[in-house]
Structures are given as C-alpha cells and as structure tokens.
Amino acid sequence: MAVLAIVTSSPPDTEGGHLVIARSLVAAARACGHDARLVVTPDHGIGRQISSYLANWYTDVSGQAGVRVDQVISLRTPSYAVRHPAHVCWLNHTIREYYDLWPRYRSVLSRRARVRESVRRACIHAADRWLLTRNVARVVAQSRTIQRRLAEELKIQADVLWPPPPPRAYRCDAYGDFVLAVSRLTPLKRVDLLLHALVEPAARHVRARIVGEGVDAQALHQLSRRLGLTDRVTFLGRVDEDALLVQLAECRAVCFTPFDEDYGFVTAEAFASRKGVITCRDSGGPTELVRDGSTGLVCEPTPSAIAAALARVSDDRSLAERLGTAGAAQAASMTWPAALDRLVTV
C-alpha cells in the first residue's frame, strides 16, 4: 500500500469544505490500507497570494515523519504548487475572485486598485496554468462546474469526480415540520433568498432552521426580524457533527441555494440522510446532483419560486419521502473506495 500526502491549503482558523474533504480522504485511504497523512499548507488570502504560492512551492512533501511519500493528492489553490513527482490534483477551486467572480470583485475596486489587481490576476492565471499542466501529473475536477471553469478560463481538460458524503453516521429519524439550511453565512450562499421566500404567500406556513456562521450572520438576523420571521426561523449558529446529524435526520428537506457553488457537500449529506434538496438553476454544483422532481426540486433563484418549492415539499410528506429515498440511492453510489481508485496512481 502507498504512503499518501493529502495536501490542502487553508487560511488560519478557517474551517471549510476543503478540510472536510481532506480529512475524509485521509480516513478513507487509511481504511483501505494506505498510510495517509494530512498536510495543511498556508493560504494568506487576497492581497498576499504570491507569498502563499511561494510558501506552498517550498513546502517539502517528499517525506512525512521520516517516511517517504509515494504520492501527493492536492485539493485547492495554492496547494497544487507543492512539488512531487507523483502528484494528482483533485481540484476544489482556484481563487474565484480572479476567475468567475472577477467582474463582481473588480466592480468594488478603486481605479488604482483595478490596475494592481488586474496585474495580479494575470500573474495568477499564468501561475495556475503552469502549475496545473507542468507541476501535477493529472487534474481531476470535483464537479462539472469546476471542469467547465478550467476549460473556459485555463484551457485545461479534466475528468470529474464528485466527493462522496463525509463518513458520518447519517440517519433519517423523521420528515419533520421544518426545512434546514446548512451553510457559511456569506453573500454567495444566498441564505437571504430563503428568508425572502418565507414571507411569500405560498410559504407563510413553512418553518426553517439555519445552521452556520459567517460575515453575513448579523445582517441575516436583522433581515429575519425585519421580515417578521423570528417565530418561524431559528438560527442555530455553528454546531458540532452530532448536532448537525440530528438536524439532517429530523428535517423535512434541505434548502441550499448558493450562486454557482463549486460543489456543495450539503447536497451529498442531505442525500445520505434521506432528504431531498431544494436548489436553484444557477447554483452550480448542487444542480449536478439534484434531479428535479426525483432527488429534489430545482427552481429559479427568486423568492416566489423557492417559496413554491418549499410549500410543495412541506405540504406533501410523501413527496419528501420519495425525494429522500432517491437521494439516498444516489449517495450510496458515491463511495470513498471508488474515489480512491480514481485518485491513487502509485
């Protein structure tokens, strides 16, 4: 069996889906008999990208605790800058502000900052193109959304491998009287769409629970109060794994409506808990897994459309059960041993 280094970069004190994937991959590799080690490399954030790339470039991943590493599997920018002769990148995403989110990012910059950031963007594109074609042996995208971005922005072709649900004790205890949203509370996650949907006439009887924290937390609390939703919306903040599994086990369905999400673990975890997912046509990764009317409901990114979907699943328990059963079958087909077979090359 191989000695594997699973490498992902991460900002300090930040917990994200890339770390969940990394830890899940390590656990799965060990369960399959590999000696797998997690390596977390620096990500200094916007404005310090060059130092982040250099820090990853100079990170020694040839050996861990005195043991020679046979293969590296990197996950996200700029962890694919680490050097190893057997290096597969299972790409989560590049720096989106310099790619698909560039128009939005550029629009908030001053004229002087636009010049500076345009130069930085060109440098990052050049570095990513070189690293993902010369520094890694193969690139595998974690979704078709990421595959499309790579082809359009860097002219790089990649296969697709969806990450399976993290290895947790998922269960379905009930199809309760609330929908669940699980997300970082940031603008791109669009949790405000759910709140606005709940005041639409179709969904005024629907209750919701929201798990997560982030920069939009205070604004979302204020919006909930302003819309008169305090008796129907419960903000649970950040919860531990056991508490999350309870919420997934008891909800009627999961509402996950981000904008052009890279992948979205929430969808796979909802399926593993036998719950259907409500998402939007422009939500990216989730729409690759959610089949409208089969494993969930796919609607337009408007409060009225989301309200109609919320009402359908809340008013029809048998529909919620059918969506959840189909989702569970899809989740069961996505396994970590099969993912490892695609990623391990030594």
DSSP secondary structure letters along 76-87:
STTGGGS--SSE
- Please count the CA atoms within 13 angstroms of the CA of 253 that sit on its side-chain side: 33
Identify which of 342, 329, 343 has the alpha carbon closest to the alpha carbon of residue 165: 329
Per-residue pLDDT of the chain (346 residues; tens, 9 = 90+): 899 999 999 887 677 778 889 999 999 999 999 999 999 999 887 778 888 999 999 998 988 767 899 999 999 999 999 999 999 999 998 888 999 999 999 998 899 999 999 999 999 999 999 999 999 999 999 999 999 999 999 999 999 999 999 999 999 999 999 999 999 999 999 999 999 999 999 999 999 999 999 999 999 999 999 999 999 999 999 999 999 999 999 999 999 999 999 998 899 999 999 999 999 999 999 999 999 999 999 999 999 999 999 999 999 999 999 999 999 999 999 999 999 999 998 7
Concatenated DSSP letters for 121-152?
A: HHHHHHHHHHIIIII-SEEEESSHHHHHHHHH
- 282: its two tokens: 């422009």
To which residue do tokens 């919860």 refer?
A: 239
Please state the domain extents for the chain: 3-161, 179-332
Q: What does CATH list as the number for 3-161?
A: 3.40.50
Tell me the chain's radius of gyration from C-alpha atoms: 21
Name the CATH architecture for the domain at 179-332.
3-Layer(aba) Sandwich (3.40)
235 φψ region: left (φ > 0), alpha (ψ -120 to 50), beta (else): beta
Residue 1: what pLDDT?
Answer: 82
Give the neighbor-by-neighbor strand order of the sheet with 296-299.
Answer: 233-237, 208-211, 179-182, 253-255, 277-280, 296-299
Q: Nearest to residue 203, comparing CAs of 187, 227, 172?
A: 227
